[in-house]
Amino acid sequence: MRFVRAAAIAAVVAFAGSIAGIAAANAASIAVGKKLELKVNPKDIGQEQAQLWKRFGGWCALKDWHPAVVSCHESTENGSQVRVLTLKDGSKIKEKLLDKKPNFYRYEMLESQLPVKNYQAQFSLVPDDDDEDELNFSWSATFDANGKTNKEARDVIDGIFKAGLDNIKMMVGKNVAGDDDDKK
């Protein structure tokens, strides 16, 4: 995989359509979103998207790229795909897959020690709407605070998303030849 330039930028994103859709589905009061923009060769965008999704987009792939996740166990419960993430501190997060499409999945949190409830999120890799040489990893969620203030809950989820996307940026950057743009 060859990237023209790895201008990987983790930024808060106003996912107008996607976050609004999740929010409407579960009526949660807090929305968080992050995106990672990757510069790619526009002639190879489909191939690069497929390779990136294969590496980072699997339902249990978090164990391979998120620094807080040490393992992921997949199972089926009542006809639904479920994953249990084990974190470095030994705590576990149980999540159910709600929807899966090419380069996209949506899920809900069933059990966790995180300060959230009514949590639904989505993870995707899509071509940028206005830059033909960019692919965007997008991770967004809606939820309510549980036992903490809205700001504290938002900061926890924002930190989880940031750590994961920053690590993808670092991992992808290793495969990029001769680019210093992401060091600005």
| pLDDT value, residue 132 | 87
Checking if the pLDDT of 2 tops 60, the result is no
Checking if the pLDDT of 174 tops 80, the result is no
Q: Residue 26, SS3?
A: helix
> Which tokens belong to 13?
């994103």
- The CA angle 39-43-47, to the nearest 5 degrees, is 80
| pLDDT value, residue 181 | 38
Task: Give per-residue pLDDT as tens, 49-74.
Answer: 999 999 999 999 999 999 999 999 99
Query: What are the sequence ranges of the domains in the chain?
Result: 9-183
pTM of the model: 0.81
Checking if the pLDDT of 183 tops 50, the result is no
CATH class of the domain defined by 9-183 = alpha beta
Task: Give per-residue pLDDT as tens, 78-128.
Answer: 999 999 999 999 999 999 999 999 999 999 999 999 999 999 999 999 999
Residues in the chain: 184
